[in-house]
Amino acid sequence: MDVLVKQVDLLLVRHGTTRWNREKRYLGHTDIPLDPGSRVELAPLARELTGKAFHGVYCSDLARCRETLAIISPAHADTAMYDPRLREMDFGAWEGHTYEQLQHEFLYRQWIDSPQQVTPPGGESWADFSGRIDGFVGSLLKDVEGACSRPEGTQTESEAAHSRSQGPEGTGPDSQVPPEMLIVAHGGALRQLAVRLVPGLSFWDVHIQPGSLLRIRLSFTEETGGWDGMLVNEA
């Protein structure tokens, strides 16, 4: 049986809704802001995250993700790591277009069927997209190790408070709460991130709507000598 030695919870948040999201237009590296109504959309998540002291906060450098972070966790907006590796795929010439506008283009039809083999004109290949997500994961896991490096059995003040607030099922005052790390990014980037961290998961298995949260629990076991993730919840 695996012997559990360390755990970390990753909170993956997709940015709030933009006008192009509403209009179902491809939105990759085009840097447009959130819809004016996104503050209301993100309010429940902001309440859920109030008071959390994350061990690391990572955010795409594009405006819609920056704005989302400023709404849901304003205390971390100035200290977050804004990383371009967390951007959505670059859709090139297809940016701003809808399926209806592109559906009769031969290359687009090929891309829909085999996105790993076809690159949007002027856009990003699947290899480049997945490669930069892999690079981010490598950096993230180093930080995860750091978040777990404090002496065994100790808790931060925020973790201790969280433990006291939990129910009786093994999560009382004496139980240890995994450190939490927040990642704010785009739908495709978060899907690929989940695929890299959760064994057996495919890209299209992951469903995360604008302004919602996906929690992944990373566990380090002595038997595997590495980190494996599992989906804890989807919202």
Tell me the domain boundaries of the chain: 4-93+126-234
Q: Cα separation of 46 and 192, whole Å? A: 24
pTM for this predicted structure: 0.87
Block mean pLDDT (10 aa), the chain, length 235: 72 98 98 96 97 95 98 97 98 98 97 96 98 97 83 44 39 62 98 95 92 95 83 69
**pLDDT, position 150:** 55
Give 74-113 pLDDT, tens digit per residue. 999 999 999 999 999 999 999 999 999 999 999 999 999 9
Amino acid 5: pLDDT: 59
**Which of helix, strand or coil describes residue 58?**
strand
215: left (phi over 0), alpha (psi -120 to 50) or beta: beta
- The class level of CATH for 4-93+126-234 reads alpha beta
pLDDT at 74: 97
Q: What is the C-alpha separation between 178 and 227, in angstroms, rounded?
A: 14
The pLDDT value given to residue 148:
80
Q: Which two tokens stand for residue 205?
A: 């298995």
